[in-house]
Amino acid sequence: MTSAWSRRTFLATSAALTAAGGGALTLATPGAASAAPEDDPYTALRTTWSALILGEGFSPTAEPFKSRLADLGTKASQWLEAMAPVEGSLWPDAVFADPDPDTDAESYVFSGRMADSFIRLNTMAQAYRQQGTGLTGNTGLRDAVLTGLEHLNTQVYNDGQTRYGNWYSWQIGAPQALLDVCVLMYDAISPERLARYCAAVDHFVPDSAVASYTGTSTGANRVDLCRVLALRGVVGGTAAKIALARDALSPVFPLVTKGDGLYADGSFIQHTTVPYTGSYGSVMLGGLGLLFALLKGTTWEVTDPKRQVVFDAVENAWAPFLYNGLVMDSVAGRAISRGEVDDHRRGHPIMASIVLLGRGASAAENARWRALVKGWAQRDYYSPPLNNPSLGLTALARIKSVLDDTSLTPVAEPAGHRLFPDMARTTHRRPGWAASLSMADRRITFYETGNGENLRGWHTGNGMLYWWGDTFANGQYSDAFWPTVDPYRLPGTTVSRKVLADGAGGDWGVALPDVNWVGGVTDSKRAAVGQYLKGLTSTLMAKKSWFFLDDTVVCLGAGIHGRDGAAVETTVDNRNLGP
């Protein structure tokens, strides 16, 4: 194994190879690949995409942007210093060469590291292009990014490679980051290299990836694939790819009655059985906003009239699960186990995506949505969006533009009840507080685990009852709740104390209770809700009811029992009581 290069040696060698005309590391001078006329539509699209992913309308010397840009420069500098191209890796801690392709679990890890390597290069490219990073226009950083792209293309992401591990890394994670870098560094990449990078994307994301609306090509995943195809067309100057991406969005728009997508009642399902408004739904919303904005006013503008379904879903599907800046964990699937991002930090990107989506909506919708976002952002005292370290610069700028807009009157939290029978969820809002209920039935899974995540979410569909106050308890499920709570004693649930293995029931939401009687009735103010409960891999049976009233939620249970000797418990609540 070659020893790691120092940064000085790495850059000196790159420069020497460039001067000597070394084919693999030849670096194009700025402008070499941008000889297109000024009216070239692809040039305009690259300009638009750069603004969408770098952000616009903010001052790099004003907070919170000044600090974020400095942090971006620090992170890019760390990746630059640590970069050490050798066989099988670009960074020592991100080896992507799979030594044992027959081991699925390890292959997932190695494919993830491959995609992560492209994401690191994307961070470096953004630090090069952004103002105020301390590395803006730095030629050493530029050369490192270009050398990294070439190394990954030669080693792993090319049109002769057989994919291993997680399909997502090859079809979404890696190509999205690669194409972003190609746009940001376009003037410094030779046409020959761009052609090879596009060929690699074509290999892993062929047109057939969106030929049918099935499998991994539905909902949020379909939008992500369309983003890859659209940017592949932009980078390669291929009109047919952009047109394909636009047209392949159309199956996402119509309301569905089964499987993945948006339902008439406001439900959003991904992975066939998982309520996912707050995670995959967020990805879909953000991706659609980006593509609508990218293609607006071009030959490829998204004009399908069914896109109005998505606009209507802002208030029908997403808003009901946003409360004072957070998005409720009841619709976040396995994302609840990701400790670095809590319910507030998942809510803020949705708010920013709603602002972006408003650019393609009617003037009335745009104004109303911005007023909604302003209200959510102003009321998030627990985790103000502008202090969210995981919120990107672009999202930060969009939310700040709303907060600074004096023409907007923030919209207050509504009062009322919403039933979502197509995903066995319900929300209840009253002045000063809100609640949400998670259930499971023959169509909706107990919980989802996958990729080693959310291994103990077994009972989150057993009638888990969440509640928040308007000026208190907004951090109840944010402050290390999920890693510290007893998974057998989630608030509101009735469970068997039978010991379950991690991931019991199977990955990707395959565990479904054999029950139909789950749902309720509402007059939009109050509601009666019921769940016929059968335990996950246990003999637990119960009938549970909730009456959502003006100032109370009445919780009742009947026929609660098990026949395997394990204790059965109902947990009324489980909360952080403070100091």
Map 32-99 to HEC letters: CCCCCCCCCHHHHHHHHHHHHHHCCCCCCCCCCHHHHHHHHHHHHHHHHHHCCCECCECCCCCCCCCC
- When pLDDT is averaged across residues 148-162 and rounded to a whole number, the result is 97
Cα–Cα separations (whole angstroms), residue 356 to 285, 288, 292: 9, 9, 9
Which pLDDT score, from 0 to 100, does residue 38 have? 53
**Local structure of 434: helix, strand or coil:** strand
How many C-beta atoms lie closer than 10 Å to residue 516's C-beta? Answer: 10
- When pLDDT is averaged across residues 302-307 and rounded to a whole number, the result is 96
Task: Give the residue among 364, 464, 373 at the shortest CA–CA distance from 413.
Answer: 373
Identify the band that residue 18 occupies on the pLDDT scale cut at 50, 70 and 90: very low
221 is catalytic: yes
Among candidate residues 138, 153, 166, 221, the one labeled active-site is 221
316 is catalytic: no
- Note the CATH number of domain 214-413: 1.50.10.100
- The amino acid at residue 403 is L
Share the mean pLDDT of the chain: 92
Contact 507, 415 (CB under 8 A): no
CA dist 450 and 108 (Å) reads 11
pLDDT higher than 70, residue 237: yes
- When pLDDT is averaged across residues 268-296 and rounded to a whole number, the result is 96
How many C-beta atoms lie closer than 10 Å to residue 447's C-beta? Answer: 27
pTM equals 0.89
Spans of all domains in the chain: 1-204, 214-413, 420-570
**What does DSSP assign to residue 417?**
E
- When pLDDT is averaged across residues 330-343 and rounded to a whole number, the result is 94
Evaluate whether 214-413 and 420-570 have a shared fold.
no
User: pLDDT digit string (tens) for 25-74?
Assistant: 333 333 333 334 456 899 999 999 999 999 999 999 999 999 999 999 99
User: pLDDT digit string (tens) for 419-442?
Assistant: 999 999 999 999 999 999 999 999
CATH classification of 1-204 is 1.50.10.100, yes or no?
yes
CA dist 96 and 119 (Å) reads 13
pLDDT higher than 70, residue 11: no
Residue 96, token pair as written in the block: 């992507």
Instruction: Name the architecture of domain 420-570.
Output: Distorted Sandwich (2.70)
Residue 300, token pair as written in the block: 């490829």
**Local structure of 115: helix, strand or coil:** helix
DSSP 156-197: TSSTTPPP-S-HHIIIIIHHHHHHHHHHHTGGGS-HHHHHHH
The residues pairing with 435 across neighbouring beta strands, listed in sequence order, are 428, 467
- When pLDDT is averaged across residues 237-266 and rounded to a whole number, the result is 97
280 is catalytic: yes
Residue 143, token pair as written in the block: 């050369």
Among candidate residues 186, 213, 263, 271, the one labeled active-site is 271
- When pLDDT is averaged across residues 384-396 and rounded to a whole number, the result is 94
Contact 477, 342 (CB under 8 A): yes
Which pLDDT score, from 0 to 100, does residue 577 have? 83
Contact 180, 125 (CB under 8 A): yes
- When pLDDT is averaged across residues 105-133 and rounded to a whole number, the result is 95
Cα 573 from chain centre:
30
pLDDT higher than 50, residue 140: yes
Among candidate residues 280, 447, 477, 488, the one labeled active-site is 280
pLDDT higher than 80, residue 265: yes
